[in-house]
Amino acid sequence: MQIDGLTLSKVVLELRGFLMNQRVNKVFMPSEGRFYFTFFRDTLLVSLLNDASYLQMVPTKEDSPFFPPAFVMLLRKYLKGAACTDISQLRHDRIIRIDFLSHFEEAEPKEYIVYIELMGRNSNLILCEKSGKILDVYRRKASPQRGLLPQNTYVPFSKNPPPLSLVEWDILKGSELLEEEIRLFPSDLPIFAFLERGFDGFGHQTSAEICYRADLAPERSLSALSRTEIENLNLVLSSLREELSNTPGLYLWESDEKACVLSAIRMQTLEQKGFRYTIKPPSEALQEVFSISRQMRDLQISKARYRKWIDKEIKKIESNIDSMQSDLSETVNYPSYQRYGQLILANQYRFDSDKKYTSLEAEDWETGESVLVPLDSKLTLSANAQVYFKKSSRLRRRGEVLGDRLRRFQSLLYYLEQIQQSLRDVEDPEALSDIILEIERENRLFGEDTRVEQTKKSGASKQAKEKRHAFTTRYSGPSEYRVFERSGFRCLVGKNNYQNDRLIKEAKDGDLWFHVQGFPGAHVILKSRNQPFVPEEVLLFAARLAARYSKASQSANVAVDYTDMKDVKKPKGFRPGMVTYRNHKTLFVDPYYDDESDRL
């Protein structure tokens, strides 16, 4: 999400109230693209991330790295102890200018300027002298038109043709200005595109709002505008300027789908879509919106990283299982070798013990069939029998070891597939934090001695561990179950193995437990409310939820087992999420993929 120039103008007004005449204490960059300027009373956050470029006042800063980057060290060198003398916005563009006055001991005061460009993936932070000479740039860019390099002169972004601004908008001259500006653009350009390109500070949402208020179709071309429509557009722009100056904070818009939108003006277009608004101080509104955005970004990044690692580990285990099954198939014939040895001993009296034989034909006393036993001509009949007995015993012991190991690996595979399924369905950072902690405590994938990390350099391993610790610390705390309701009955769905265990622990006798048959999946608890009878419609709904949140979610006619909670047990030593159950019934259902209107 990006903020437009009008929204940014409100932020600038707030920053002026907080930071004017305050001195910089220190500058930090705890993570890539996130700068903290700590003043003696307040802290300013500048985010230059591709999908979250903004600035705001924050109560606290994040932990900073022990060795700061060179650019941060340079900012400290020039700005430490410097007083903020001015904060301004270039017209209504997304460029902020902060002026500093630095007093060095026994030296003339020097003025420095920090330009903050909030342009999405082109966002940047530039430190300049008062003359405009660039001292350094966060993201250096060499370009003939606008080179952002040390020793160059800073030149702001420029648009051609030059855009209009609401700052100096005059209702008496507005129609004439609009006509002149329209002539500078292609006649087939849509109106909403003209508003975005022809005015500083207008984003997609604001341009759509202006079209709505002026009763203009956004896709209409400029050539189709009449004189009356241009005059009406002038009136809307004038009222917009008035509204902008009279609104004390930012509008925070929220909907039932938990979508959040920021605006500097009241958006009738959003009200038509069912959004509700509250007016909040700019930094508070920004914190609310971008904290959600950051949570989702952190969630997707961490989720993708862990899914990649666990997929790799599952492939390794599947390969081991295939190899063990192949080796195990070679041990199944050990009874035949035992019988060969017995046949040799039972029939050796028929043969001359001093002679050498290459084979022995004897009748199997259990089947009555004639059996040809291969022999080593270099050995006696008794020695050949002992060879077969030893081979049979060796294959039997190997089969027992392989069988036990195969069962352990199959159990581990099922458990990892359960985690894999939880990662696919995870929807919030707290639930993902539970999964990460479970993985580390089980010491299967991401512990210090795991196969995933043993090939990495110690520095990379330590960095990965620090990232995991930062995520689990930031989003620690209990996560909530998925909760659905049907016909007055509540269904609780676990988001991970820890929640599945909590569900089992908190459920009461009489509640019903559901789980997909033969596949990893979430535990579903149907709260019976002590009712002796649960409608079939509710049972089928709970079964469909169990199918939805399982590895069989893309299948049809999925088998789902259910039973009373008193018949579900978790034996001591079982891994998280693993249980045994009995006295179950089975339902065949399609996974639940409706509009989730039953979800609470």
Burial 458-489 (b: 16+ CB within 10 A, else e): eeebeebeeebebbbeebeeebebbebebeeb
CA 261 – CA 181 distance, rounded (Å): 30
CA 118, 123, 124, 130 torsion-angle sign: negative
Q: What is the pLDDT of residue 229?
A: 94
CA 164 – CA 199 distance, rounded (Å): 5
Q: 202 with 196: CB under 8 angstroms?
A: yes
Domain residue ranges in the chain: 5-137, 174-283, 290-328+408-474, 332-398, 482-589
Q: 524 with 542: CB under 8 angstroms?
A: yes
Q: Token digits for 244?
A: 């902008």
Rounded to whole angstroms, the maximal C-alpha distance in the chain is 128
Q: What is the pLDDT of residue 588?
A: 97
Q: 90 with 9: CB under 8 angstroms?
A: no
CA 390 – CA 334 distance, rounded (Å): 10
Q: Token digits for 327?
A: 């080796």
Q: What is the pLDDT of residue 521?
A: 93
Q: What is the pLDDT of residue 167?
A: 78
The SS3 call for residue 163 is coil
CA 572, 434, 506, 503 torsion-angle sign: negative
Strands 585-589 and 558-564: antiparallel
Strands 83-89 and 585-589: unpaired
Which contiguous run of DSSP H or E holds residue 372?
strand 370-374
Spacing of C-alpha 62 from chain mean position: 20
Whose structure tokens read 């301004």?
88
Predicted TM-score (pTM) of the model is 0.67
Q: Which CATH architecture describes the domain 5-137?
A: Roll (2.30)
Q: Token digits for 296?
A: 């989702």
CA 179 – CA 227 distance, rounded (Å): 9
The SS3 call for residue 442 is helix
Q: 327 with 402: CB under 8 angstroms?
A: yes
CA 139 – CA 129 distance, rounded (Å): 18
Contacts of 56 (CB under 8 A, 6+ apart): 11, 44, 45, 282, 283, 286, 287, 290
Q: What is the pLDDT of residue 356?
A: 81
Q: What is the pLDDT of residue 468?
A: 56
Contacts of 110 (CB under 8 A, 6+ apart): 101, 102, 104, 129, 130
In the chain, the amino acid numbered 252 is L
Q: What is the pLDDT of residue 445?
A: 45
HSE-CB of 303 using CA atoms within 13 angstroms: 18
Q: What is the pLDDT of residue 447?
A: 39
Instruction: State the SS3 of 240-264.
Output: HHHHHHHCCCEEEEECCCCCEEEEC
Q: Token digits for 223?
A: 């050539």
Burial 55-92 (b: 16+ CB within 10 A, else e): bbbbeebeebeeebeebbebbbebbebbbbeebebbbb
Q: What is the CATH number of domain 174-283?
A: 1.10.8.50
Q: 208 with 230: CB under 8 angstroms?
A: no
Spacing of C-alpha 292 from chain mean position: 12
CA 561 – CA 554 distance, rounded (Å): 18
Q: Token digits for 491?
A: 């269904």
Block mean pLDDT (10 aa), the chain, length 600: 89 95 94 93 93 90 80 95 95 93 80 96 95 96 88 88 83 89 93 92 93 94 93 93 90 80 93 92 91 78 87 92 92 89 87 82 82 89 92 93 92 90 84 83 49 42 56 57 91 92 92 95 90 91 95 94 95 90 96 64
Q: 439 with 337: CB under 8 angstroms?
A: no
